[in-house]
Amino acid sequence: MPITPAGAAHDAPNGTADAILLELVDEKGVTIGTAEKLTAHQPPGRLHRAFSVFLFDERGRLLLQQRALGKYHSPGVWSNTCCGHPYPGEAPFAAAARRTYEELGVSPSLLAEAGTVRYNHPDPASGLVEQEYNHLFVGLVQAPPEPDAEEVAATAWVTPAELAERHAKDTFSAWFMTVLDAARPAIRELTGPSAGW
């Protein structure tokens, strides 16, 4: 698994108009157009490019975030460190590093590609649909998070056992277990067998 330093540009490449557009893709992840963010998530959903980040500390604990209550999609639920959508034409790696900084105020010291996963997850609470071709990333972070309150309600560092406990009692995003399971081989390679992932 290639591990590279994560230097990220933190500015939107083409201004705010592109922030509401998503890249539509085919089943192989090839770009076929764009759609407005909310439109792409309305039933039955349009397949679009997304990313999910899993960051760990030096003890092998995963950083979770609770999504801000003001979010239109899946507010208040727990999920992986960071997830989102690249701007049209933006590399998923750059988008993952950018949004991690924007949401959590940290830049990963290492960030590595961990494959892709395609899924279709309706969200019963909002009625929206996640039809995503998701690029997965795993990495390390050495600084404490400083979350943007408009994006993140809370954060938590968890071991595998603590995650299982929290997952049994709290509400998690519809996509969380799918992206976690898909990223597990890369997570194990990053954290080592003793971490238990």
Both tokens assigned to 12: 């939107």
**Among candidates 22, 2, 9, which has minimal Cα distance to 95?**
9
The pTM of this model reads 0.89
- When pLDDT is cut at 50, 70 and 90, the band that residue 5 belongs to is very low
Residues of the domain holding 116 = 16-56+83-143+175-195
* Residue tagged 């976690």 (tokens): 180
Residue 2 lies in a domain: no
Mean pLDDT of 60-86: 94
Which of these ranges, 25-39, 69-83, 144-158, has the smallest mean pLDDT?
69-83
User: Could you report the per-residue pLDDT of 110-131, keeping only the tens digit for each?
Assistant: 999 999 999 999 988 788 999 9
User: Could you report the per-residue pLDDT of 151-174, keeping only the tens digit for each?
Assistant: 999 999 999 999 999 999 999 999
Q: Would strands 21-25 and 62-67 be described as parallel, antiparallel, or unpaired?
A: unpaired
- Supply the residues annotated as catalytic: 83, 132
CATH number at residue 133: 3.90.79.10
Neighbours of 36 (CB within 10 A): 11
**Among candidates 125, 121, 41, which has minimal Cα distance to 75?**
125
Q: Is the pLDDT of residue 7 over 60?
A: no
Number of domains in the chain: 1
Residue 116 lies in a domain: yes
Residue 45 lies in a domain: yes
d(CA 179, CA 127): 20
d(CA 72, CA 145): 23
